[in-house]
Amino acid sequence: MSHLEPTSIDLAVIGGSGLYNFPGLENAERYTVDTPYGPASGDIVIGDFVGKRIAFLARHGESHTLPPHRVNYRANVWALHSLGARRVIGVNAVGGIRGDMGPQVIVVPDQLVDYTHGRFTSFCDVDGAEVKHIDFSEPYTESLRQQLLEAAHAANVGVIGSGCYGATQGPRLETRAEIARMKRDGCDLVGMTGMPEAVLARELGLDYACLALVANFAAGCGDEAEISIEEIFAHLAAATAEVPRILGKLLQL
Ligand code: HPA
């Protein structure tokens, strides 16, 4: 694998459920990166989009074989950084907790609460590594968040510009009581993959923001007694279709 110059990647995108490749990517080349943390979720595909360079990685693997708790977040973030990515958009499927965050709504969260466990949450978690405590008061890079909002506006795609993402362990969906607790905690959205990706990006000094695609109302928040997985994927497909348009505008800001 050849090393790319840091300036050669304009944007890295980590695709979540429903986004396994980046539509419209031209001259795509695949990179298999060896990382000190083991294999990434798959090859990183680098190609041209609106005249800029995008690096794309499918978080769950291109055939969606990795559940959220088994994603090698450290390897993914490290691999993108090692290829020269300096800003990363994490695209995440979520359930909506807040009333205005129903299916197909797109949200750019500004806060998060981490309920996950048993995941490697730091690059320091290696024998002999220097322990670093990083500031995480603002878990997402504000300038990149603002660029996402501006880009969505330019693309004529409605987005909600703030909200608190609650990261759960999965792969099961939550109980109504768990969601009620998350609501009391101030969470507006629930997803399974937002952490530790965001903190690992911060540890490596990457700009990172989340584009959250609402697939369903979270447990107990909608009218239905049960959440249909088929409906989740149908709503996700509709919201995912907007992603390249938003990111295309972002690249042209
Ligand atoms: N909970 C957690 N993660 C999700 C959900 C949900 O309801 N929908 C899509 N991802």
First-to-final CA distance of the chain: 31
The two structure tokens encoding residue 45: 């595909």
Centroid of ligand 1 to alpha carbon of 93 (angstroms): 7
- C-alpha distances in angstroms, 42 versus 63, 194, 253? 10, 18, 30
pLDDT at 2: 47
* Ligand 1 first shell, C-beta below 6 A: 93-95, 168, 173-174, 190-192, 215-216, 218, 232
Domain boundaries, the chain: 11-251
Label residue 6 by pLDDT band (50, 70, 90): very low
Hey, how many other C-beta atoms are within 10 angstroms of the C-beta on 201? 27
Q: How far is the CA of 65 from the centre of ligand 1 (A)?
A: 17
- Mean pLDDT score, 179-202: 98
The two tokens of residue 164 are 């608190």
| 157-163 mean pLDDT | 98
pLDDT at 143: 98
| Per-residue confidence (pLDDT) for residue 184, from 0 to 100 | 98
CA distance 96 to 120: 26
Which tens digit of pLDDT belongs to each residue from 39-75?
999 999 999 999 999 999 999 999 999 999 999 999 9
Residues 198, 144: contact at Cβ < 8 Å? no
Tell me how far apart the alpha carbons of residues 205 and 229 are, in angstroms, rounded to a whole number: 36
Q: What is the pTM of this model?
A: 0.96
Q: List, for residues 103-121, the tens digit of each pLDDT value.
A: 999 999 999 999 999 999 9
**C-alpha pair distances (Å), 96 with each of 25, 38, 60, 197, 206:** 30, 33, 21, 20, 27
- Using the atom order of ligand 1, give the atom closest to the CA of residue 217: 7
pLDDT in the model for residue 224: 87
Q: Which of 19, 92, 107, 174 to mutate to test the pocket of ligand 1 (most atoms within 8 A of CB)?
A: 174
Q: Binning pLDDT at 50, 70 and 90, where does residue 98 land?
A: very high
pLDDT digits (tens, 9 = 90+) for 129-159: 888 899 999 999 999 999 999 999 999 999 9
pLDDT by residue (tens digit) across 201-244? 999 999 999 999 999 999 999 998 899 999 999 999 999 999 99
CATH 3.40.190.10 fits 11-251, yes or no: no
